[in-house]
A and B are shown apart, each in its own frame.
Chain A
Amino acid sequence: MGFPDRIERTVQVARPPATVWAALTTAEGLRAWFGDDATIDLRPGGSARMTWTSGHTADMRIERVEEPTVFGFTWHIYGLPDGDPRRTYVEFTLEPVGAGTRLTVVETGFAQLPDDVYRKAFDGNTEGWASELGELVAYLDAA
């Protein structure tokens, strides 16, 4: 079975989309539930940054701003080295339901593998291992 490329969650919030939108797209809103501190330049191509008192920082690049229904950004995959180019895409969708909001978050891209990482990951498996292993066995036997 495969690992997930995509994570999806839906929650019902007893507040209208405009209120939920502010919590997702303003520094004050993000500080209240997500990061310990936050800055945001709310426009496609704009940057946002969240920091935590633990020392962790998340830099986001904003991709979609369609108030008050769609907010999307990319960010670094947590746990990968800082220089790694892979990013996941996070998209929040807000739908009014009665007096509240159905909020869906979808994060995709966990299973991506850019060409250079792909090459690095597979070169060792595919190039010249038969001969290397022959030499290896010879070395080990001689040791």
Chain B
Amino acid sequence: MPPDIEAVAEQVFTALADPTRRAILAALASGGPATATDLADRLPVSRQAIAKHLTLLAQTGLVITEPGERRRVRYRLRSAPMQVAQQFLAALARDWDSSLDALKDHLEGRKTPQ
């Protein structure tokens, strides 16, 4: 696979590994675009720390900036890198082991535990 696909997924997983960045991304996902000040009101984290994390998230392309009210920058979640990361998770979540166990149990006449 092209290494940069993996780089995008890695940026997503790195971002999600930090509890503050996870909270910021979760807030943008659930509440839509927000300024650093909005996020500081909602999260138990200083505005300074939030601004620092948002800069990092913008650098890696996980959020984009757009003009907000009163010359404040608003941040919006970008879904494309998340979808790249999600397809890697799909491979991990694809549970052929259980399905094949069920197939074998069905064919060989054993009862399938549910």
Contact = CB atoms under 8 A, between A and B. Distances in A.
Interface of A: 2-5, 7, 9, 11, 13-15, 19-20, 23-24, 32-34, 77-81, 84, 86, 88, 103, 105, 107, 110-113, 117-118, 120-125, 129, 132-133, 135-137, 139-140, 142-143
Q: Which of B8, B65, B83 is most buried by chain A, counting CB atoms within 10 A of its CB?
A: B83
Given A15-B108, A122-B4, A81 B72 contact: no
A3 B91 contact: yes
Contacts of A121: 5, 8, 61, 80-81, 83-84
B107 interface: yes
A139 B86 contact: no
Interface string B83-100: 110111111111011011
Taking chain B's interface residues, is the majority helix, strand, or loop, or is none over half, making it mixed? Answer: helix
A139 B1 CA distance: 39
A125 B73 contact: no
B8 A13 contact: no
B108 A13 contact: yes
Nearest to B4: A122
B100 A11 contact: yes
Contacts of B73: 135-136, 139-140
B46 interface: no
B9 interface: yes
A103 to B, nearest CB: 8
B9 A13 contact: no
B23 interface: no
B5 A111 contact: yes
A121 B99 CA distance: 33
Contacts of A135: 65, 73
A-B interface, 7 closest residue pairs, ranked by CB to CB distance from nearest = A124-B61, A120-B80, A110-B91, A111-B1, A3-B88, A33-B106, A125-B61
